Amino acid sequence: MFVIFGAAGNVGGTSAAALRRAGRPVRAVVRDETQGAPLAEIGCEIMISDLLDPPTVARAIKGARAVQILCPVPRAHADPASDMRRMIEVAADALRADPPQRVLALSDYGAEHASGTGITTLFHYLETQLQAVASQLTFLRAAEHMHNWARVLPIALSKGVLPSLHHPLDKLFPTVAARDVGLLAAELLLDEQPAKTSPHVVSIEARERVSAFDVARLVGELAHRTVVAREVPRGEWAATLHAAGLGEQHARLITDLYDAHNAGRIDVEAEVSERRFGATALAEVLAEIVARVAASASASASAAP
Protein backbone atom coordinates (compact mmCIF):
# COMPACT_ATOMS: atom_id res chain seq x y z
CA MET A 1 0.00 0.00 0.00
CA PHE A 2 1.24 3.46 -0.96
CA VAL A 3 -0.03 6.11 1.46
CA ILE A 4 -0.22 9.69 0.20
CA PHE A 5 -0.81 12.46 2.73
CA GLY A 6 -2.20 15.67 1.23
CA ALA A 7 -3.62 13.65 -1.66
CA ALA A 8 -6.19 16.37 -2.45
CA GLY A 9 -3.44 18.89 -3.23
CA ASN A 10 -1.66 19.58 -6.50
CA VAL A 11 1.42 17.53 -5.61
CA GLY A 12 -0.28 14.71 -3.71
CA GLY A 13 -3.06 14.33 -6.27
CA THR A 14 -0.51 14.00 -9.07
CA SER A 15 1.45 11.38 -7.10
CA ALA A 16 -1.69 9.38 -6.30
CA ALA A 17 -2.81 9.38 -9.93
CA ALA A 18 0.65 8.34 -11.18
CA LEU A 19 0.80 5.46 -8.70
CA ARG A 20 -2.68 4.29 -9.73
CA ARG A 21 -1.66 4.39 -13.41
CA ALA A 22 1.25 2.14 -12.43
CA GLY A 23 -1.25 -0.30 -10.94
CA ARG A 24 -0.27 0.28 -7.31
CA PRO A 25 -2.76 0.35 -4.42
CA VAL A 26 -3.05 3.87 -3.02
CA ARG A 27 -4.49 5.10 0.25
CA ALA A 28 -5.28 8.77 -0.25
CA VAL A 29 -5.23 10.69 3.04
CA VAL A 30 -7.48 13.76 3.04
CA ARG A 31 -9.19 16.05 5.55
CA ASP A 32 -12.81 15.33 4.57
CA GLU A 33 -14.99 13.14 2.36
CA THR A 34 -15.58 15.78 -0.31
CA GLN A 35 -11.85 15.97 -1.00
CA GLY A 36 -11.74 12.22 -1.43
CA ALA A 37 -14.41 11.85 -4.12
CA PRO A 38 -12.18 12.46 -7.20
CA LEU A 39 -9.49 10.18 -5.74
CA ALA A 40 -12.01 7.41 -5.09
CA GLU A 41 -13.00 7.61 -8.76
CA ILE A 42 -9.49 6.56 -9.82
CA GLY A 43 -9.48 3.66 -7.38
CA CYS A 44 -7.84 5.10 -4.28
CA GLU A 45 -8.78 3.96 -0.82
CA ILE A 46 -9.84 7.08 1.06
CA MET A 47 -8.71 7.76 4.63
CA ILE A 48 -9.83 10.80 6.61
CA SER A 49 -7.09 12.08 8.91
CA ASP A 50 -6.14 15.17 10.87
CA LEU A 51 -2.38 15.59 11.03
CA LEU A 52 -2.76 16.93 14.56
CA ASP A 53 -4.58 13.77 15.67
CA PRO A 54 -2.17 10.88 16.44
CA PRO A 55 -4.74 8.03 16.24
CA THR A 56 -5.93 8.97 12.75
CA VAL A 57 -2.34 9.40 11.50
CA ALA A 58 -1.41 5.99 12.93
CA ARG A 59 -4.41 4.39 11.20
CA ALA A 60 -3.49 6.06 7.91
CA ILE A 61 -0.01 4.50 7.78
CA LYS A 62 -0.99 1.05 9.08
CA GLY A 63 0.14 -1.63 6.64
CA ALA A 64 1.90 0.87 4.36
CA ARG A 65 4.78 -0.18 2.13
CA ALA A 66 5.60 3.45 1.36
CA VAL A 67 4.43 6.80 2.73
CA GLN A 68 4.57 10.23 1.10
CA ILE A 69 4.34 12.82 3.86
CA LEU A 70 3.40 16.46 3.54
CA CYS A 71 2.98 18.82 6.48
CA PRO A 72 1.33 22.01 5.18
CA VAL A 73 1.80 25.44 6.70
CA PRO A 74 -1.57 26.08 8.45
CA ARG A 75 -2.46 29.49 7.06
CA ALA A 76 -5.48 30.10 9.32
CA HIS A 77 -3.66 29.45 12.60
CA ALA A 78 -2.48 32.42 14.70
CA ASP A 79 0.85 30.64 15.26
CA PRO A 80 1.34 28.56 12.10
CA ALA A 81 4.91 27.55 12.94
CA SER A 82 3.84 26.00 16.25
CA ASP A 83 0.96 24.16 14.58
CA MET A 84 3.15 22.82 11.79
CA ARG A 85 5.83 21.64 14.22
CA ARG A 86 3.12 19.72 16.08
CA MET A 87 1.98 18.10 12.80
CA ILE A 88 5.57 17.09 12.11
CA GLU A 89 5.96 15.58 15.57
CA VAL A 90 2.72 13.59 15.24
CA ALA A 91 3.77 12.24 11.84
CA ALA A 92 7.31 11.41 12.97
CA ASP A 93 6.04 9.64 16.11
CA ALA A 94 3.63 7.50 14.04
CA LEU A 95 6.33 6.60 11.50
CA ARG A 96 8.82 5.69 14.23
CA ALA A 97 6.23 3.45 15.87
CA ASP A 98 5.23 1.71 12.62
CA PRO A 99 7.94 2.33 10.02
CA PRO A 100 7.11 1.47 6.39
CA GLN A 101 9.78 0.32 3.96
CA ARG A 102 10.02 3.79 2.42
CA VAL A 103 9.20 7.35 3.47
CA LEU A 104 9.32 10.28 1.08
CA ALA A 105 9.00 13.73 2.65
CA LEU A 106 8.08 16.74 0.54
CA SER A 107 10.55 19.44 1.55
CA ASP A 108 11.93 22.77 0.29
CA TYR A 109 15.05 24.32 -1.17
CA GLY A 110 17.04 25.71 1.75
CA ALA A 111 15.90 23.03 4.22
CA GLU A 112 19.53 22.39 5.19
CA HIS A 113 19.49 25.68 7.16
CA ALA A 114 18.39 25.47 10.78
CA SER A 115 17.52 29.15 11.12
CA GLY A 116 17.05 32.45 9.33
CA THR A 117 14.94 31.20 6.44
CA GLY A 118 11.37 31.70 7.68
CA ILE A 119 8.97 28.98 6.57
CA THR A 120 11.85 26.86 5.28
CA THR A 121 13.13 26.31 8.84
CA LEU A 122 9.98 24.24 9.38
CA PHE A 123 11.05 21.89 6.59
CA HIS A 124 14.45 21.65 8.25
CA TYR A 125 12.57 20.57 11.38
CA LEU A 126 10.62 18.01 9.33
CA GLU A 127 13.80 16.48 7.95
CA THR A 128 15.45 16.45 11.38
CA GLN A 129 12.49 14.74 13.06
CA LEU A 130 12.29 12.04 10.39
CA GLN A 131 15.98 11.11 10.72
CA ALA A 132 15.12 8.63 13.49
CA VAL A 133 12.54 6.74 11.40
CA ALA A 134 13.79 3.25 10.51
CA SER A 135 12.84 3.50 6.83
CA GLN A 136 14.58 4.28 3.56
CA LEU A 137 14.21 8.07 3.65
CA THR A 138 13.96 10.42 0.69
CA PHE A 139 13.76 14.18 1.12
CA LEU A 140 12.37 15.72 -2.07
CA ARG A 141 13.32 19.39 -1.93
CA ALA A 142 11.37 21.52 -4.37
CA ALA A 143 12.07 25.03 -5.60
CA GLU A 144 9.42 27.75 -5.23
CA HIS A 145 6.15 26.49 -6.70
CA MET A 146 5.04 28.27 -9.85
CA HIS A 147 1.46 28.29 -8.58
CA ASN A 148 2.49 30.73 -5.84
CA TRP A 149 2.15 33.52 -8.43
CA ALA A 150 -1.62 32.91 -8.42
CA ARG A 151 -1.78 35.03 -5.25
CA VAL A 152 -0.83 38.21 -7.10
CA LEU A 153 -2.05 37.57 -10.64
CA PRO A 154 -5.48 39.15 -10.04
CA ILE A 155 -3.64 42.39 -9.19
CA ALA A 156 -1.39 42.07 -12.22
CA LEU A 157 -4.31 41.48 -14.56
CA SER A 158 -6.48 44.26 -13.17
CA LYS A 159 -3.81 46.93 -12.61
CA GLY A 160 -1.02 45.92 -14.97
CA VAL A 161 1.45 45.76 -12.08
CA LEU A 162 3.05 42.55 -10.77
CA PRO A 163 4.18 43.04 -7.15
CA SER A 164 7.28 41.06 -6.24
CA LEU A 165 9.16 40.30 -3.04
CA HIS A 166 12.03 38.99 -5.14
CA HIS A 167 14.68 41.74 -5.18
CA PRO A 168 16.17 42.84 -7.52
CA LEU A 169 13.64 42.27 -10.26
CA ASP A 170 16.23 40.85 -12.67
CA LYS A 171 17.52 38.25 -10.19
CA LEU A 172 17.06 34.71 -11.50
CA PHE A 173 15.51 32.21 -9.10
CA PRO A 174 14.43 28.56 -9.37
CA THR A 175 10.77 27.54 -9.68
CA VAL A 176 8.95 24.28 -10.30
CA ALA A 177 5.49 23.09 -11.28
CA ALA A 178 3.57 21.14 -8.64
CA ARG A 179 2.75 18.41 -11.18
CA ASP A 180 6.46 17.80 -11.78
CA VAL A 181 7.07 17.44 -8.05
CA GLY A 182 4.20 14.97 -7.77
CA LEU A 183 5.37 12.91 -10.75
CA LEU A 184 8.94 12.73 -9.45
CA ALA A 185 7.70 11.76 -5.97
CA ALA A 186 5.77 8.84 -7.45
CA GLU A 187 8.78 7.81 -9.55
CA LEU A 188 11.02 7.78 -6.48
CA LEU A 189 8.49 5.76 -4.48
CA LEU A 190 8.26 3.20 -7.30
CA ASP A 191 12.03 2.84 -7.67
CA GLU A 192 12.89 -0.63 -6.37
CA GLN A 193 16.62 0.05 -6.23
CA PRO A 194 17.78 0.91 -2.71
CA ALA A 195 19.38 4.34 -2.43
CA LYS A 196 23.06 4.47 -1.58
CA THR A 197 22.35 6.82 1.31
CA SER A 198 19.50 7.44 3.70
CA PRO A 199 18.28 10.08 3.69
CA HIS A 200 18.51 10.39 -0.07
CA VAL A 201 18.17 14.12 -0.84
CA VAL A 202 16.72 14.98 -4.25
CA SER A 203 16.18 18.50 -5.57
CA ILE A 204 13.80 19.51 -8.36
CA GLU A 205 13.34 22.72 -10.30
CA ALA A 206 12.39 23.70 -13.84
CA ARG A 207 15.07 23.67 -16.51
CA GLU A 208 15.15 27.45 -16.77
CA ARG A 209 15.41 29.92 -13.93
CA VAL A 210 13.35 33.10 -14.18
CA SER A 211 13.18 36.63 -12.82
CA ALA A 212 10.24 38.80 -11.76
CA PHE A 213 10.71 40.62 -15.07
CA ASP A 214 10.21 37.30 -16.89
CA VAL A 215 7.05 36.55 -14.93
CA ALA A 216 5.57 39.98 -15.72
CA ARG A 217 6.43 39.63 -19.41
CA LEU A 218 4.82 36.18 -19.65
CA VAL A 219 1.67 37.30 -17.84
CA GLY A 220 1.40 40.30 -20.16
CA GLU A 221 1.78 38.12 -23.25
CA LEU A 222 -0.85 35.67 -22.02
CA ALA A 223 -3.30 38.42 -21.05
CA HIS A 224 -2.59 40.57 -24.13
CA ARG A 225 -1.84 43.64 -22.05
CA THR A 226 1.14 45.45 -20.59
CA VAL A 227 2.23 44.13 -17.19
CA VAL A 228 5.23 45.59 -15.37
CA ALA A 229 7.06 44.11 -12.40
CA ARG A 230 7.32 46.22 -9.25
CA GLU A 231 9.54 45.65 -6.24
CA VAL A 232 7.44 45.86 -3.11
CA PRO A 233 9.64 47.99 -0.80
CA ARG A 234 10.98 45.97 2.15
CA GLY A 235 9.18 48.27 4.60
CA GLU A 236 5.83 47.47 2.98
CA TRP A 237 6.11 43.68 3.01
CA ALA A 238 4.31 43.08 6.30
CA ALA A 239 1.40 45.41 5.46
CA THR A 240 1.08 43.83 2.00
CA LEU A 241 0.93 40.33 3.46
CA HIS A 242 -1.54 41.39 6.15
CA ALA A 243 -3.75 42.88 3.42
CA ALA A 244 -3.61 39.49 1.67
CA GLY A 245 -5.10 37.87 4.77
CA LEU A 246 -1.98 36.56 6.51
CA GLY A 247 -1.66 36.88 10.27
CA GLU A 248 1.30 38.58 11.92
CA GLN A 249 3.33 35.44 12.58
CA HIS A 250 2.63 33.93 9.16
CA ALA A 251 3.66 37.21 7.51
CA ARG A 252 6.91 37.14 9.48
CA LEU A 253 7.66 33.63 8.20
CA ILE A 254 7.19 34.91 4.64
CA THR A 255 9.30 38.04 5.09
CA ASP A 256 12.13 36.03 6.66
CA LEU A 257 11.92 33.58 3.76
CA TYR A 258 12.24 36.30 1.11
CA ASP A 259 15.04 38.01 3.00
CA ALA A 260 16.88 34.68 2.76
CA HIS A 261 15.89 34.31 -0.92
CA ASN A 262 17.23 37.75 -1.77
CA ALA A 263 20.43 37.05 0.13
CA GLY A 264 20.97 33.92 -2.01
CA ARG A 265 20.45 31.39 0.80
CA ILE A 266 17.53 29.52 -0.80
CA ASP A 267 19.04 27.31 -3.47
CA VAL A 268 20.28 23.79 -4.14
CA GLU A 269 22.43 22.52 -1.29
CA ALA A 270 25.99 21.69 -2.36
CA GLU A 271 25.69 18.27 -0.69
CA VAL A 272 22.41 17.29 -2.38
CA SER A 273 22.40 13.62 -3.44
CA GLU A 274 20.64 14.04 -6.77
CA ARG A 275 19.40 16.93 -8.94
CA ARG A 276 16.34 16.56 -11.17
CA PHE A 277 14.55 18.95 -13.51
CA GLY A 278 10.85 19.27 -14.26
CA ALA A 279 9.52 19.34 -17.82
CA THR A 280 6.84 22.01 -17.26
CA ALA A 281 7.70 25.57 -18.27
CA LEU A 282 6.50 28.55 -16.25
CA ALA A 283 4.45 29.79 -19.22
CA GLU A 284 2.29 26.65 -19.09
CA VAL A 285 1.40 27.14 -15.44
CA LEU A 286 0.84 30.87 -15.81
CA ALA A 287 -1.48 30.21 -18.77
CA GLU A 288 -3.67 28.02 -16.54
CA ILE A 289 -3.76 30.66 -13.80
CA VAL A 290 -4.46 33.56 -16.16
CA ALA A 291 -7.34 31.63 -17.74
CA ARG A 292 -8.77 30.82 -14.31
CA VAL A 293 -8.51 34.43 -13.08
CA ALA A 294 -10.08 35.73 -16.28
CA ALA A 295 -12.96 33.23 -16.00
CA SER A 296 -13.56 34.22 -12.39
CA ALA A 297 -13.59 37.92 -13.27
CA SER A 298 -16.02 37.27 -16.13
CA ALA A 299 -18.33 35.26 -13.87
CA SER A 300 -18.28 38.03 -11.26
CA ALA A 301 -19.09 40.65 -13.90
CA SER A 302 -22.00 38.56 -15.20
CA ALA A 303 -23.41 38.14 -11.68
CA ALA A 304 -23.25 41.84 -10.90
CA PRO A 305 -26.61 43.68 -11.00
Q: CB neighbours of 233 closer than 8 A, spacing ≥ 6?
A: none
Domain boundary assignment for the chain: 2-145+175-205+266-279
Cβ density class 227-264: b for 16+ within 10 Å, e for less: bebbebeeeebeebbeeeebbeebbbbbbbbbbbbbee
pLDDT, one tens digit per residue, over 163-198 is 999 999 999 999 999 999 999 999 999 998 877 778
Q: CB neighbours of 211 closer than 8 A, spacing ≥ 6?
A: 166, 169, 170, 171, 172, 173
Q: Which CATH number fits domain 2-145+175-205+266-279: 3.20.20.70, 3.40.228.10, 3.20.20.140, 3.40.50.720?
A: 3.40.50.720
Helices (H) and strands (E) in the chain, counts: 11, 12
Residue 301, pLDDT > 60, answer no
H-helix segments, 98-198? 120-130, 153-159, 178-190
Q: End-to-end alpha-carbon separation of the chain, Å?
A: 52
Nearest to 24 by CA among 52, 65, 57: 65
The structure's pTM equals: 0.95
- DSSP for 192-210, please give it: -SPPSSSSEEEEEEESS-B
- Model confidence at 272, pLDDT cuts 50, 70, 90, reads confident
pLDDT, one tens digit per residue, over 219-269 is 999 999 999 999 999 999 999 898 888 899 999 999 999 999 999 999 999
pLDDT, one tens digit per residue, over 108-160 is 999 999 999 999 999 999 999 999 999 999 999 999 999 999 989 999 999 99
